[in-house]
Structure 1
Amino acid sequence: MKPSGITLTLSIIVAMSENRCIGQDNRLPWNLPDEWAYFGRISEGKPFLMGRKSYESPDGLYSDYRNIVLSHTPNLPLPHPPAELAHSLNGALDLLAAEEEVLVLGGVSLFEELLPKIDKLYLSIIHAHIEGDVFFPEVDFSDWMLLHSDYHPADARHAYAFSMNQYVRKKG
């Protein structure tokens, strides 16, 4: 269930390996140009919600439209505009209440907290077991309906095959 009064669509967008790895040393452990292009198409014109570590990551992703950074640090500098600081999840969702869809980019604690409330998953699966130190939470896929899947084989530009999947939460 979404928090009371929230009508926007909450979506997670993430790429993970088959063993659920999403990062190593605060970076993505792969470079997949066509997956990045997919991310760009999905995220264009949409606001991002992320934790401070995701925002400050060397591989940090930023919306040209709007970025909400969740942190308990007061007066956190936000050098990548347009960014706004929220000190609580409810405060962040209040800032985003008028939006149609919000893309949650992480980190793991934000994924864990919001996964039960998420409406849509944009989940790219890298078809490999990759070493890492950050992992996406377990997903009960019986709660989700696969809307679309696009498989991309490994090739000269992509060290790994991957699938770009879109899921929606089943009603009921």
Structure 2
Amino acid sequence: MNTLTIIAAAAENNALGKNNDLLWHLPDDFKRFKSLTSGHKIIMGRKTFESFPKPLPNRTHIIITRDKDYEVGHADCMVVHSMDEALALVKEDPLAFIIGGGEIYKIGMEYANHMELTRVHGSFEADTFFPDFDEDQWELTNKEHHPKDERHKYDFTYLTYIKK
């Protein structure tokens, strides 16, 4: 494994989602997510996977669940039961992504060496949160502000971090 990237959009209060849904609609962030993750393996929890209408095109989904009987009948989906199993499936890949949710991000923080965080400027009521992380362990290498506009209800900033 060369690069294991956490990719997330989280509010200033670390809110990620509520009732298995996103709290905002940011088309440019969706485009960036698609462009960064296309062609790669994406690691996620079962609830995150089930929040998609169908598997995301041009990506291999690695779904972590405690449910030993959980199955997904789709060629681009693999079911595993731990982060260790998920990491074993990406160890030969030059790049893989951890895409959520909250619990998977928390576990993945230990293993990731790169982070693409979209910080949504606002605080939201949520039931799922991005984990706090020690900014002393991460170096901010890029920061790109995106003001709100007719297609984006909130300002947001793309933050790229590399683990020190």
TM-score by length of 1: 0.88
Q: Which of the residues 80, 97, 110 maps onto 2:104?
A: 110
Partner residue, 1:127: 121
Query: Which one-letter code corresponds to 2:91 in the other structure?
Result: A
Pairing 1:54-93 to 2, within 5 Å after superposition = 54-58=48-52, 62=56, 64-93=58-87
Q: Which of the residues 133, 146, 155 maps onto 1:152?
A: 146
Give the C-alpha shift of residue 93 in structure 1. Answer: 1.4
Residue 117 of structure 1 aligns to a residue whose secondary structure is coil
Whole-Å separation in 2 of the counterparts to 1:134 and 1:59 = 19
Q: Which of the residues 96, 99, 114 maps onto 2:93?
A: 99
In structure 1, runs of 5+ residues without a counterpart are: 1-6
Give the C-alpha shift of residue 80 in structure 1. Answer: 4.9
In structure 2, runs of 5+ residues without a counterpart are: none
Give the C-alpha shift of residue 81 in structure 1. Answer: 4.0
Equivalent pair of 2:25/2:152 in contact (CA under 8 Å): yes
Equivalent pair of 1:26/1:58 in contact (CA under 8 Å): no
Match status 1:31 vs 2:25: yes
Q: 1:23 to 1:59 in 2, by over 3 A?
A: farther
How many percent of aligned residue pairs carry the same amino acid? 30
Q: Give the root-mean-square deviation of aligned CA atoms.
A: 1.7
Query: Which one-letter code corresponds to 1:100 in the other structure?
Result: P
Query: Which one-letter code corresponds to 2:153 in the other structure?
Result: A
* Structure 1 stretches of 4+ moved >6 Å: none
Whole-Å separation in 1 of the counterparts to 2:64 and 2:120 = 28
Equivalent pair of 1:54/1:60 in contact (CA under 8 Å): no
